[in-house]
Each structure stands twice: as structure tokens, then as C-alpha cells.
Chain A
Amino acid sequence: MMSLGAIFFYIISAFILLMGILAVTTRKIFRSAIYLLGSLIGIAGLYFWLEVEFIAAVQIVVYVGGIVVLIIFSIFLTQQSGKEMPRTNLSRNIFSLLAVIAGFLLSCSLIHQYGFEAGSQPFDNAVSRIGLYMLNTGKDGFALPFEAVSILLLAALIGCIVIAMKSVPTKSTK
């Protein structure tokens, strides 16, 4: 007999997977983005189910609020969002389906075979601890990765500007 928690887990997981499948199979790119949104919300739900509310909030703020909006923006700027994408041919569909199923089954069976045991330690996930570890320079601290990310963002910003700016100077000189 499954516990109520397990039932919820499977419902949320099924929702995530369903949304993911819809996102890659739909032929309208805008709908695809919306399905992705659903999938990401489902993952946030999974975090709530795990009782890590802060991570769930971050998931919603960053992915649902930020990244999907960015994706939708770029779709509006570059694609004809109402048009249907060209149909992919059958053999490619079959092979990608086979690859996905094979990968899924392999991962599942390996994880199942390993038989993870539930940890005995109580799970302390206070937000203050996240903050402390993120800026801690000692053992298990993540100050250096944090700084590395800031350089990565700076570089990404500059790279984007250079690429996006390219047509402006040539137009002004002509």
C-alpha cells in the first residue's frame, strides 16, 4: 500500500514528465515554452513536497519567473510564434524515441539496483545555513565558486553585447 506522500510524488512526477513530453512534441514553439513552464512549476512542486521551501521559491523566481519569460521574449523577437514548425520525419522520431527510452530505462534500472537508503541524519535546511555556506571560505564553503559565477556572468554579458550589437555600427557608417 502506497503512502499518501508516495502517491503525491508520483502525481507530481507524472505531471513533470507529461509537460516535458508535450514541450518537445508540440509543433508550435510558443506552446512548447508554456509546457516547459508547466514542467518547471512541477519541479517546484517536487521541492515543496521535499519540504525545501526556499529552493522551491528560488525555482519559481528564477526558472518560472525569469528564464521562461526570457525564452518567451526571444521567441517573440525571432520566431513567428503562431506558425507550426515543420514536421520531423518518422525515422528520426523513432530513433530519438528509442534513444530516450533506452537511456531512461538504463538510468532507472541502475538507480533502482543501487538501492539508495534513506539517511538517518535530520535534514537541516534553514535558509541562513545556505547563506553561510555560500559565502564561506572554509570547508564546504562555496565562496570561490560564487566568485567564479560572477566572472562567468560578466563574460556572458560582454559576449552577448558584442554579438547582439553587430549590425549597429555598420548601419551608421553606410
Chain B
Amino acid sequence: MTDQLIDFFLLMKSELLLLAVIFIMLFMNITAKENADGTPVDNNHSILVTANILLLLNFLAGFFMNTSGNLFGDSFTSTELTAFQKNILNLGTLLVSLQSYTWLKTHKHVMEFYMLLLATLLGMFLMISSQHMLLFYLGLELSTIPLAALVNFDLEKKKSAEAAMKMIMMSAFSSALLLFGISLFYGTMGTLHFQEIPAALNGSDLQLYCLILLIAAFGFKISAVPFHFWTADVYEGAPVPVTSYLSVISKGSILFVMTTVLYNVFAGMGVEWYLIICVLAVATMITGNIFAVRQQNLKRLLAFSSIAQVGFILVGMSGQNTEGAVSVTYFIIIYIFSNLAALGVISVVSALTGKEKISDYKGFYKTNPMLSWILAIALFSLAGIPPTSGFFGKFFLLLAGAGNGNYTLVIIAALNMIVSLYYYLKIVKAVFMDANEEPIPTINLAFFPKAGLLICLIGIIVTGLASGSYNYIQELFASL
């Protein structure tokens, strides 16, 4: 019995630790002291320090004592791979938390911010570990509904509320599609266990229809074209830290799950979903890039660029081999570092000056050389220029995509990378070369955002150059 109990705690370690953090924060909220007018005593500093330390501990604990096994009648699984994926998300959340320091310092609801943020993370963990459609669905909801509240966290801004409304409507719609698909699946198969589904697939038209509904629901969450309409508005309206969380962590987790589900559970319908993924990839890359070129608001630009990045990831996913799964995971790590570095700079500037347009960033290098370099390197990585890790990430994605012999797809992806260079370099040009009478004033970074940006910077350089990182992920997939 004690062995079983120890097993239980080890297998559910990441979830339980996260729950512990959530409840510590909630109890701290009860005992927190307030000034007479309801503002926190020391500008939230102590709360934010505690939160970041807890998240750091949570991240570090993710490296130890990872075991494999199933729980709850095989509906929950934990392997080295899921532990690794969860820890990537832990790291990403820590980085988002570090970067949101400047914004949260003046916010009245810091505890609630963390509670909602970590609840969504818990949902993602459950989703990654799920081996049952019901648990998967609940994880998906848990990772979306609190996020809609987070999108609304710029409480005075109407745009923020509008974005939250749009997001919750869209996620309700996609959930409906998913549930309809799942219930029809259940009708045809009589089981929703991931392990039992492969044997129950019979390739009938109805099951294909269910698969399309399932992929449509995934498409909404990763904002693949044509399911992307909510993305730009929500990203623009949401506070920048929430935008980074949405575009990186939330998307990354869904991509992890999508890879697992399509590769393992629906391998028997590989021919069908290969075509769907190819069409989605092409549409997503082209639309994302074309719209990104036109944007003047940096947040909107990064929203569309993140749509385009998903297109590249789908190219890798269409490889249908181990390299496909490995390169997707590898690219998500790189994407977390690169996008968080870029959005981190924007987040700090936006929190302190409220400026978010590309033209506002003219002459940024004169006043903030350090931040300019970080932004430039992050953008280079997003564009896929060597020696930043973005190059290696995209390289492996295209290589995996080419493994299936669809060279048209790879050529389209390569052409799109050139288009994406244009708008990324447009920002770099504004930052470094354009003159400006009133540039953004010099920004003194607090310790936490600085640390967050430095981790991102190191990540961008190291994950690309250290070939061990790719091999490590490959071993994780091979060990399954």
C-alpha cells in the first residue's frame, strides 16, 4: 500500500506540486495586509518574489524523480517525455511570471492572476497526461476558461474585456465541435480510452468526420487558419504577459497533445489527417505571413507571426515519423525562448510607456541598447537566421516534413520564411536605423524581468548550438 502511495505521488508529482503552489498563494492572499485604500502594502513586491521563487522551485523539482507509469485505470499516464514536456511549460510559465513583474507591481489582483495562470497550467498538465478523451476534454477546458478571465485582466480597458468575450465565445464554439466529435466517436467505438481507440478505428466516413471535428477543435486552440479569427483581436486586447502566455505556453501545450494524439492514437488514419494537416499548414503559413506584413501594432504583428509559426510546426508534424514529433517538441522550446524574449521587451515597454506601435520603436537602440539587442536576437531567431536556435528549429521541422516526400509543402514553407524575414527585419530596422525625435526613454529594468530576458537569451543561443538538446528529446521519444 505504501509503495502504491509513493507511486501515486511520484507519478502525479507535477500536478500535485502545482496544486500546492496554487493553495499556498491562495492562503497568502487571505493573510495579505492592505493599505486603507485597498492597495497592497509594498507594491506587491513580496508577493511577486514569493510567487517567482515558488515557480522556480516547481521548475527545478521537475528535473528529479521522474518515473513512468499509469494511474486511475490507465486514464492518466506519466512518462519521461510527459515530465519533460510539463517542465518546458513550467519554465515558460516562470519566464512569463518574471516578465510580468513590471505590470503586476501596480495591479490589484496579483494573487488571482497567479491562481488563474497556474490553474490553466494544471489543465495543460492533465491534458498532456490524459489517456482518456474525457480527461483530455476537461484539461482543455481548464486550460482555456481561466485564460479568458486573464485576458480581461486589464480591468480598466474596454478592449481587454472585448478580447475576453471574443475568446470565450470562440473557445465555447470549438469545445462544441470537439464534444460533438467525441460523442460520435464514442458512438462508433464504444470506448474513449486512447489505448483502445487504435484497435477500434474502422476508417468509416463517420469516424473521418469525427477526426475532422477533432482537428478543427485543435485548430481553434493553436489558431491555425481558417480557425484563426479570434487570435489577433485577443492578443491585441490582452495584457502583454497574458498574450505571451497565450501565444507560447497555451499553444505549445496543445501542440504537444496534438502530436501525441495524432501520432499515437490516430496513426491508423494517418493518410487522412496527413492531407488535412498539409492544407492547414499551407493556409496557416501564407495567411499568417501576409497579414503580419500589414500590421503596425507590434502585438498584432507578433500575433500573426505566431500564426505563421504554427504553420511551420504543422509542416514538421506532417512528417509522420519520429523526427516529426521530435522536431515539433524541439521547436516549441525554441519558440518559447524566442517569442518570450521578443514579447518580454514589448511587455516592459508597454507597461512603462504604453507604446506598442512599430513607429514608436524608432531610435530605440539609442536609448536602450541592451533591450534592442535582445529584441533583435529574438526576432532573428523567430525568422530563422543562423546561428540563433530558430534556424535549427525550422531546419529540423522542414527536414521532418520532407521525410514524407512532400517537397511542394517544404518549398512553400521555405518561401514563407523569406516573407517572414521582411516583417521581422522591419522592426529591427526601426529599432536600429531609423531616427526619432522622441525615442522611448531609457528603461531601468527591475531584477526579475532582466533575469527572465537573460534566460531567454541564453536559451536562444544554447538550445541551437548544443546539439545534445535535440538528441535528448529524440531519446525521450525513442524510450516510449
Residues of A within 8 A of B (CB): 106-107, 110-111, 113-114, 116, 136-145, 148-149, 151-152, 154-156, 158-163, 166, 169-170, 172-173
A-B contact pairs, 14 of them (CB 8 A): A110-B209, A116-B187, A136-B73, A141-B72, A143-B72, A144-B75, A144-B76, A148-B126, A148-B135, A151-B119, A152-B146, A159-B116, A162-B155, A166-B156
Q: Is the CB of A114 within 8 A of B149?
A: no
Given contacts A143-B72, A144-B76, contact A110 B138 (CB under 8 A): no
Q: Does B38 contact A (CB under 8 A)?
A: yes
Q: Which residues of chain B are within 8 angstroms of A149 by Cβ–Cβ distance? A: 138
Q: Is the CB of A163 within 8 A of B116?
A: no
Q: Which residues of chain B are within 8 angstroms of A172 by Cβ–Cβ distance? A: 37-38
Q: Does B454 contact A (CB under 8 A)?
A: no
User: In the bound complex, how far is the Cα of B76 from the Cα of A145, in angstroms?
Assistant: 10
Q: Is the CB of A114 within 8 A of B145?
A: no
Q: Is the CB of B119 within 8 A of A144?
A: no
Q: Does B2 contact A (CB under 8 A)?
A: no
Report B61-83 residues with CB < 8 Å from chain A CB. Answer: 71-76
Q: Does B204 contact A (CB under 8 A)?
A: yes
Report B110-126 residues with CB < 8 Å from chain A CB. Answer: 112, 115-116, 119-120, 122-123, 126
Q: Is the CB of A110 within 8 A of B119?
A: no
Q: Is the CB of B72 within 8 A of A114?
A: no
User: In the bound complex, how far is the Cα of B141 from the Cα of A137, in angstroms?
Assistant: 21
Given contacts A144-B135, A148-B135, contact A114 B204 (CB under 8 A): yes
The smallest C-beta distance from A101 to any residue of chain B, in angstroms, reads 17
User: In the bound complex, how far is the Cα of B116 from the Cα of A111, in angstroms?
Assistant: 40
Q: Is the CB of A145 within 8 A of B138?
A: yes
Q: Is the CB of A138 within 8 A of B37?
A: no
Which one of A107, A110, A136, A149 has the highest number of Cβ atoms from chain B below 10 Å of its Cβ? A110
Q: Which residues of chain B are within 8 angstroms of A166 by Cβ–Cβ distance? A: 155-156
Q: Which residues of chain A are within 8 angstroms of B115 by Cβ–Cβ distance? A: 155, 158
Q: Does B139 contact A (CB under 8 A)?
A: yes
Q: Is the CB of A154 within 8 A of B204?
A: no
Which of these, A106, A116, A159, contacts B145 with CB under 8 Å? A159
Q: Which residue of B lies closest to A111 (CB)?
A: B206
Residues of B within 8 A of A (CB): 19, 37-38, 71-76, 108-109, 112, 115-116, 119-120, 122-123, 126, 132, 134-135, 138-139, 141-142, 145-146, 148-150, 152-153, 155-156, 161, 164, 184, 187-188, 204-206, 209
Q: Which residues of chain A are within 8 angstroms of B146 by Cβ–Cβ distance? A: 152, 155-156, 159
Q: Which residue of B lies closest to A154 (CB)?
A: B119
Q: Which residues of chain A are within 8 angstroms of B19 by Cβ–Cβ distance? A: 151
Given contacts A148-B139, A148-B142, contact A155 B119 (CB under 8 A): yes
Q: Which residue of A lies closest to B149 (CB)?
A: A159
Q: Which residue of B lies closest to A144 (CB)?
A: B72
Q: Is the CB of B149 within 8 A of A160?
A: yes
User: In the bound complex, how far is the Cα of B149 from the Cα of A156, in angstroms?
Assistant: 8
User: In the bound complex, how far is the Cα of B76 from the Cα of A143, in angstroms?
Assistant: 11
Q: Is the CB of B142 within 8 A of A169?
A: no
The smallest C-beta distance from B155 to any residue of chain A, in angstroms, reads 4
A151-B119, A156-B149, A162-B152 known; 11 other A-B pairs, CB under 8 Å? A113-B206, A136-B73, A144-B75, A148-B138, A151-B19, A154-B119, A158-B112, A158-B149, A162-B116, A169-B108, A172-B38
- For the complex of A and B, list the 8 residue pairs with the smallest distance between their C-beta atoms, beginning with the closest: A159-B149, A139-B73, A155-B119, A166-B155, A155-B146, A114-B206, A148-B138, A138-B73
Which of these, A116, A155, A163, contacts B152 with CB under 8 Å? A163
Q: Which residues of chain B are within 8 angstroms of A173 by Cβ–Cβ distance? A: 37-38
The smallest C-beta distance from A15 to any residue of chain B, in angstroms, reads 21
User: In the bound complex, how far is the Cα of B74 from the Cα of A140, in angstroms?
Assistant: 9
User: In the bound complex, how far is the Cα of B152 from the Cα of A141, in angstroms?
Assistant: 36
The smallest C-beta distance from A46 to any residue of chain B, in angstroms, reads 14
Q: Which residues of chain A are within 8 angstroms of B209 by Cβ–Cβ distance? A: 106-107, 110
The smallest C-beta distance from B375 to any residue of chain A, in angstroms, reads 31
Q: Is the CB of A152 within 8 A of B123?
A: yes
Q: Which residues of chain B are within 8 angstroms of A110 by Cβ–Cβ distance? A: 205-206, 209
The smallest C-beta distance from A156 to any residue of chain B, in angstroms, reads 6
